[in-house]
């Protein structure tokens, strides 16, 4: 199940609700809360991700605030590895590293703990920690690219960026250093 067949993709896609004109007119918001409360679709998705990443020999999964926390922490538990939250500025209690990124009008910032992936980004073997970055959706990619940069800044290796849903027309996957995998593409 390293790739999903069309029927499996439809099961997951049909479980995601479209909310028109949210958060502003003209936007169709992809609501994953209906995926999360659909046990068949959610299990199918998590089984797929577990199978895909089992052979990657990852040390950590980094999930982007806040929906990436859901998928990332469950996947980390299934793989028996650590989970690291990538938070919005000011939400982490220890020493952090931050990265700014552009929004439509202005900037925002994400951060992680400086020792999130071990001392100098290295796992217990002394090698760079291998990290999977995960979030629910990639649109323009600004937040995810900032998170990927944070992983690099602390000395770890982002081996792939995973998204449940990609809005391909926004071309958000362009400009990543790591490979990008999307379960579903619209």
Q: Which residues contact 55 (CB under 8 A, 6 or more apart)?
A: none
Q: How far apart are CA 38 and CA 41, in angstroms?
A: 6
Given the residues 104, 109, 119, 173, the one annotated as active site? 104
What are the sequence ranges of the domains in the chain? 56-185
Per-residue pLDDT of the chain (186 residues; tens, 9 = 90+): 478 999 999 999 999 999 999 988 998 999 999 999 999 999 999 999 999 999 999 999 999 999 999 999 999 999 999 999 999 999 999 999 999 998 767 789 999 999 999 988 887 778 999 999 999 999 999 999 999 999 999 999 999 999 999 999 999 999 999 999 999 999
pTM: 0.95
**Active-site residue, 54 included:** no
**Active-site residue, 51 included:** no
Domain 56-185 is found in CATH 3.40.50.2020: yes
Given the residues 67, 87, 109, 111, the one annotated as active site? 67
Task: Please give the torsion angle defined by the CA atoms of residues 177, 155, 73 and 132, in that order, rounded to the nearest 10 degrees.
Answer: 30
Tokens of 60: 């950590």
């Amino acid at each position: 199940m390293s790739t999903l067949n069309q029927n499996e993709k439809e099961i997951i896609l049909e479980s995601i609700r479209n909310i028109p004109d949210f958060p502003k007119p003209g936007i169709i918001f992809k609501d994953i809360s209906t995926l999360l409360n659909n046990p068949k679709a959610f299990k199918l998705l998590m089984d797929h991700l577990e199978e895909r990443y089992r052979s990657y020999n990852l040390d950590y999964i980094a999930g982007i605030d806040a929906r990436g926390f859901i998928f990332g922490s469950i996947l980390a538990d299934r793989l028996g590895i650590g989970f690291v939250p990538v938070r919005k500025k000011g939400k982490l209690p220890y020493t952090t590293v931050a990265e700014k990124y552009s929004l439509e009008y202005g900037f925002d910032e994400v951060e992680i703990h400086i020792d999130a992936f071990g001392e100098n980004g290295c796992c217990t073997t002394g090698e760079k920690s291998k990290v999977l970055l995960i979030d629910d959706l990639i649109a323009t990619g600004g937040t995810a690219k900032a998170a990927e940069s944070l992983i690099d800044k602390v000395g770890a290796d982002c081996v792939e960026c995973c998204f449940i849903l990609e809005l391909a027309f926004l071309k958000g996957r362009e400009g990543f250093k790591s490979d990008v995998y999307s379960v579903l593409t619209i």
